[in-house]
Structure 1
Amino acid sequence: MDKNIFTVDEKDQGTRIDKYLSEVFVDKSRSFIQGLIEKDSIKVNGKVPKSNYKLKAFDEIEVIFKEPEVLKVDAEEIPLHILYEDKDLIVVNKVQGMVVHPAPGNYNGTLVNALLFHCKDLSSINGVIRPGIVHRIDKDTSGILVVAKNDESHNKLSEQLKDHSMKREYYALIEGRLKNEKGTIDKPLARNKRDRLKMGIVDDGKRAVTHYEVIERYNGYTLIKCILETGRTHQIRVHMASIGFPLVGDPLYGFKKQRFKLKGQVLHAKTLGFIHPTENKYVEFTTELPEYFIGLIDKLRNEIR
């Protein structure tokens, strides 16, 4: 454990504590500092502040950096589709049906289990259960994820997620023929108060923005591209359902009667672009749609010939 104690200078009065500390500890991002506050690892005058706390002259700040916990998640020899890898990060194409990280009742067979077998160096920022995981996609959503191998890369990638500069494009098959060629859904999301497994449109929720455009129309279905401005849990699924066009196969937000026998929502994270954390240049990765997705589209195309 590393404890740091210092006093705020008069010239820094009025500065937000997360901004101030990210400048004091130049290798730590504001989101990382906010995480420390949430874990009660930062105190001002003996009390845990909020991330937006504005400093006063002569405030005494205590910052504790705890040693990373020893990983207790088993490494498993599970095949991975790796699109790119270097000393800082790994870009993987996750298959449908794979959970990203362990959780109570599901500690095996996840992407993290596979990553631990493949790579011994993963960032420690998200602790023992989510090493290296910068962002997540749902179990039954396939597609691209970037995984950080060290804390510096993790911080820089997380900042891009937070400031919405990371490019994330998904392909989705939705119920119904969408008339608009393109559109934007700007509706706040939060946990559904009646069903904790679901997210919902909630006035005081976090802002969520999804841009969409039509790729192809079929009899009763539409293939769309969704561009995420924000990245909330179940964002595309809830947003499209909220305008009456839920994803095909979605067990939570979709129609009760499903024409096709599917394992889950037809949603694929197709393109991911970001500034490389150490090379400082833009990189972009894209994948083909999975076989089941392509097969479904081919079937729908044949019906309109």
Structure 2
Amino acid sequence: MNVTITEENAGTRLDTVLAGIVPDTSRTDIQNRVKSGHITVNGKTVKPNYKVKDGDHIEFFERENVEADIEPENLNLEIVYEDDDVAVVNKERGMVVHPAAGHASGTLVNGLMAQLDNLSGINGELRPGIVHRIDKDTSGLLMVAKHDVSHRHLVDQLVEKSVTRKYTALVHGVIPHNLGTIEAPIGRNPKERQDMAVVDDGKEAVTHFNVLERFDKFTLVECILETGRTHQIRVHMKYIGYPLAGDPKYGPRKTLDVGGQLLHAGTLGFTHPKTGERLEFKSELPVYFTDVLEEMRQAEK
């Protein structure tokens, strides 16, 4: 595909112009293609913020599709919704989302490749269909793209902060107020590179929360993500002094021995990339989570 810039678009950012011209794409996808050299201006590579000039010749180069070298596995995933464009899966605790070092099999992607007929390839050969992730020991809902057009639309919604993502979490301590917003940037912990932390030069991160139930030493909260940084809820709740119960990485040394953080992605809402219909899905708290809550309720009677 080739595009010649006209006077009416002169002076506008390259990514903005192309996102409005190229069908079934997004500004984020255009930026990635420019950075990778798959879009050139007058035969040269430029930055996405390049201001186009009248007569500029834009050339597109197709990206090579790499077949995913992943073994499909019948893992009996709970697919709560599926059509030709998207799927929604309810991930169980303890399952890694995609293959990585030390996790070549048994991942959500292995299961998706066995149960779904198509998956998008835009996120690389190890992450087919994966639009967003949740941690290994976090349970709950994830949206999956079945082709690249859907993938771009869903990513755009994440960027625009229009995806509804609500989590239920049990945290240490008794939160005195009913509502709160945590707005603190998140990046790599300079002291421990495997961890995330609130750091001055981190990426924007916003979490809203409201109290659902209070116990003697714990609080049950609903957390609503405005952004989706790695370990965001776990890092933010620790930052304000109420770390997640059962969290081996960000929780206190003495926490509940329940096999991981008590965090469940219970509500997921997005706009269907083809029909424009607003979809919302809910997942009940898993038994291991409700058992902990019931024990606390019984102990306080």
TM-score, normalised relative to structure 2: 0.96
Q: Paired residue for 1:222, among 219, 229, 243? A: 219
Distance 1:180 1:50 in 2: 46
CA contact (8 A) 1:142 1:269 kept: yes
Q: Paired residue for 2:26, among 25, 29, 43? A: 29
Distance 1:208 1:8 in 2: 37
Deviation of the 1:180 alpha carbon: 1.0
Q: Paired residue for 2:236, among 233, 236, 239? A: 239
Could you give the per-residue CA deviations for residues 67-105 of structure 1, whole angstroms, max 9, x where no partner exists? 311111111111101111111111110000101111133
Deviation of the 1:120 alpha carbon: 2.9
Deviation of the 1:5 alpha carbon: 4.1
Aligned to 2:144: 147
Could you give the per-residue CA deviations for residues 283-303 of structure 1, whole angstroms, max 9, x where no partner exists? 110011011100110011111
State the 4+ residue runs in structure 1 displaced beyond 6 angstroms. none
Q: Paired residue for 1:53, among 38, 50, 54? A: 50
Distance 2:282 2:175 in 1: 25
Deviation of the 1:132 alpha carbon: 0.8
**1:14 equivalenced with 2:11 (yes/no):** yes
Aligned to 2:297: 301
CA contact (8 A) 1:219 1:303 kept: no
**1:269 equivalenced with 2:265 (yes/no):** yes
Could you give the per-residue CA deviations for residues 39-81 of structure 1, whole angstroms, max 9, x where no partner exists? 3322334443333332233333332221311111111111101
**1:197 equivalenced with 2:199 (yes/no):** no
Distance 1:6 1:194 in 2: 48
Could you give the per-residue CA deviations for residues 217-268 of structure 1, whole angstroms, max 9, x where no partner exists? 001000000011111111101110000000011121110122x212211100
Deviation of the 1:165 alpha carbon: 0.6
Counterpart of 2:192 in 1: which secondary structure?
coil
CA contact (8 A) 1:42 1:64 kept: yes
Could you give the per-residue CA deviations for residues 97-145 of structure 1, whole angstroms, max 9, x where no partner exists? 1011111332211100000011131111112111111111011110000
CA contact (8 A) 1:122 1:150 kept: yes
- Greater displacement, 207-216 / 186-195: 186-195
Cα RMSD of the aligned pairs, angstroms, is 1.4
**1:40 equivalenced with 2:33 (yes/no):** no
Deviation of the 1:279 alpha carbon: 1.7
- Greater displacement, 277-286 / 12-21: 12-21
In percent, how many aligned pairs have the same letter? 50
**1:122 equivalenced with 2:147 (yes/no):** no
Unaligned runs of 5+ in 1: none
Count of matched residue positions in the alignment of Structure 1 and Structure 2: 301
Distance 2:53 2:200 in 1: 34
Counterpart of 1:198 in 2: which secondary structure?
strand
Distance 2:7 2:257 in 1: 65
Aligned to 1:185: 182
Counterpart of 1:34 in 2: which secondary structure?
helix
Q: Which amino acid aligns with 1:251?
A: P
Distance 2:96 2:296 in 1: 29
- Greater displacement, 159-168 / 120-129: 120-129
Aligned to 1:172: 169
Q: Which amino acid aligns with 2:149?
A: E
CA contact (8 A) 1:97 1:140 kept: yes
Distance 2:267 2:2 in 1: 44
Distance 2:33 2:103 in 1: 27
Over 3 Å counting, the alpha-carbon distance change for 1:198 and 1:16 in structure 2 is: same
**1:100 equivalenced with 2:97 (yes/no):** yes
Distance 1:186 1:100 in 2: 27
**1:285 equivalenced with 2:281 (yes/no):** yes
Unaligned runs of 5+ in 2: none
CA contact (8 A) 1:171 1:270 kept: yes
Over 3 Å counting, the alpha-carbon distance change for 1:178 and 1:64 in structure 2 is: same
Deviation of the 1:24 alpha carbon: 2.2
Q: Which amino acid aligns with 1:50?
A: K
